[in-house]
Amino acid sequence: MRAKLTFQDIQVAVNVPAGTRVIEVSEKVGSAIMYGCREGDCGTCLMEVMSGMENLSTPSVLEDKVLRENMAGKRYRLACQAQVLGDVTVGPA
Amino acid sequence: MRSLLNVAETRTAIALSERVHWIGALDPSLRSFDIILKTANGTTYNAYVVRGSAGVAVIDTVKANFAEEFFTRLESVADYHEITAVVLNHLEPDHTGALPELLRRAPQAKLYISYKAQRMLKGLLKVDTPFIPVNTGDTIDLGDRHLSILHTPYLHWPDTQCTYVEEEGILFSGDIFGCHFCDVRLFNDSVGDFRFSFEYYYAHIMRPFKVHVLDALALIEPLTLNTVAPAHGPVLRDHPRQYVERFRDLSIPRLRRENTDDKTLLIFYISSYGNTARMAEALYSGANEIEEVRVSLYDLAGGEIEPFVDLIEEADAIALGTPTINGDATKPMWDLLSSLVVVNMQGKLGAAFGSYGWSGEAVPMLEDRMRGLKLRVPVPGLRVKLIPTDEELAACRQFGRRLAEVLTARHKAEVLEFEDL
């Protein structure tokens, strides 16, 4: 199964295998989402989900904690943690 | 008349106003900061105290081995039991070294940090410490003085923020508008010529984050600024706004580019026998066939690194050509790549090419490095064994054309396959 992951800031969409994490794609295509620790700890890769939030994997307890500590709203996820399960559009926070 | 102030001869706080004092420390013998910066006459670690009718706030602290100087100056203007707030504009150890001891001496003080700094605080103190996370719009009430928080992330850490006292027109700007310059006269109208240090600090610390500098300036520029009080270097009380304006100048392109809708592709090559040079020229002519792409060709052997870095900062794509020597890319090419750490490369396109004699490892090495710099490498690199044939030069032209096509196609929505990245 494949899904379309669109980066709104650079207007690039990528067909990815379901389960791919956003981080695996965003750096290769040059989206401006920034990265720090890459393991769900620092919160640097906070990204805005413009559409398709329901098509991302459910946040882990760890990600949930980081999102809360960063006062992230409902439209935000960590790009290093979120897995793409269906069509979704994202961009830098 | 020139100020006779000599901060090194005192251990008292230095007044910025009746209610605001500098309680920092001098480090004149430092010659290298954080490995990456030279500090020809040392630096200062600036911390401040603000006294209101209903509380006293300490803004930042100093590096750990300068804590005694900080505490002595602090004690000259405030008792520990009076301190109601400690605000950290930035958690790097040169500003938080005295924090654990300060919190021990003033246990009633509330600690305010950027909401982005929460996990860093834990990493620094290693024990759970109560704190209040703050963001733009939050204020800390000291009675007749109020501290307003400006969230200015990535200048130069995710947690960096500024603290503004409206009643004084003083902005405590953290590392923004700071520099490594140590002078006992402290204020910008009295110290020696620190313009080089100011620009050098910007070039090495702030430059990779220009977009975030512009976001921060949008918050700072509307403020009334009597004084800008940074965390390093002179306190800017004379014409502080010129330093703000200089940051804007440094964050926008110097000369406006002609044909601003065009994409720019820079081709850099280095060549020992002229083979990689011929590939570069063919690539150049191929890319030039595509309208809306402005292509430039440079021989690395004929220029200095620094202006090339300036060019790359504003380019949309780079193509790098080098021969392979002893299984590696050449030193001038690595020197160029290692100098790009001071600019934001994210989102640019990259490509590599080169002639080789035995093995040709240089091209994939350059591609890996460019990916590491967050460039996208959309067209697989091109290698030619020794002297390029006419067919191979045609392939170089095609390579240049394809790169230029990808570059212009980025205007429109593009759908890629994951496996092709």
Asked whether the beta carbons of residue A16 and residue B418 sit closer than 8 angstroms, the reply is yes
Q: Options 3.30.365.10, 3.40.50.620, 3.10.20.30, 1.10.3210.10; which CATH number does A2-92 get?
A: 3.10.20.30
Q: Do A71 and B410 touch (CB under 8 A)?
A: no
More confident residue, B231 or A12: B231
CB contact under 8 A, B347 and A28: no
Q: Which pTM does this prediction carry?
A: 0.81
Q: Please report the pLDDT score of residue A82 as a whole number.
A: 97
Instruction: Identify which of B95, B85, B90 has the alpha carbon closest to the alpha carbon of residue B23.
Output: B95
The pLDDT of residue A20 is above 70: yes
A10 chain-B contacts, CB cut-off 8 A: 347, 410
Query: Percentage of chain B with pLDDT > 90?
Result: 81
pLDDT band, very low/low/confident/very high, at B152 (cuts 50, 70, 90): very high
B381 within 8 A of B367, measured Cβ to Cβ: yes
Residue B230 has pLDDT above 90, yes or no: yes
Q: Cis check for the bond before B204: say yes or no (omega within 30 of 0).
A: no
Contacts of A66 in chain B (CB under 8 A): 119
Give the model's pLDDT for residue A70: 82
Q: Is the pLDDT of residue B413 over 80?
A: no
Q: Is the pLDDT of residue A23 over 90?
A: yes
Write down the pLDDT at residue B213: 96
Mean predicted confidence (pLDDT) in B133-153 = 97
Listed by start position, the domains of chain A span: 2-92
For chains A and B, count residue pairs whose Cβ atoms are closer than 8 Å.
70
Question: What CA–CA distances, in Å, run from B279 to A34, B326, B355, B392, B399?
Answer: 35, 20, 8, 8, 10
Residue B104 pLDDT > 80: yes
Q: Percentage of residues in chain B with pLDDT exceeding 70? A: 96
Contact at CB, B158 and A41, closer than 8 angstroms:
no
Q: Does the structure show a pLDDT above 70 at B82?
A: yes
Domains and CATH numbers, chain B: 7-251 (3.60.15.10), 263-410 (3.40.50.360)
Per CB-CB distance under 8 Å, the chain B contacts of A44 are 158
With cut-offs at 50, 70 and 90, classify the pLDDT of residue B346.
Answer: confident
Q: How many helices (H) and strands (E) does chain A have?
A: 2, 5
Q: Which residue of B has its CA nearest to A20?
A: B418
B376 contacts on A by Cβ (under 8 Å): 28-30
| Contact (CB, 8 A) for B131 and B151 | no
Please tell me if residue A29 touches chain B, with a CB cutoff of 8 Å: yes
CB contact A37 to B (< 8 Å): no
Determine, for residues A25 and B421 on separate chains, whether the beta-carbon distance falls below 8 Å. Answer: yes
- Binding-face residues of A in 59-78 toward B, CB within 8 A: 66, 69-71
pLDDT digits (tens, 9 = 90+) for B117-132: 987 898 888 888 899 9
Q: How far is B415 from B406, CA to CA, in rounded Å?
A: 12
pLDDT number for residue B411:
45
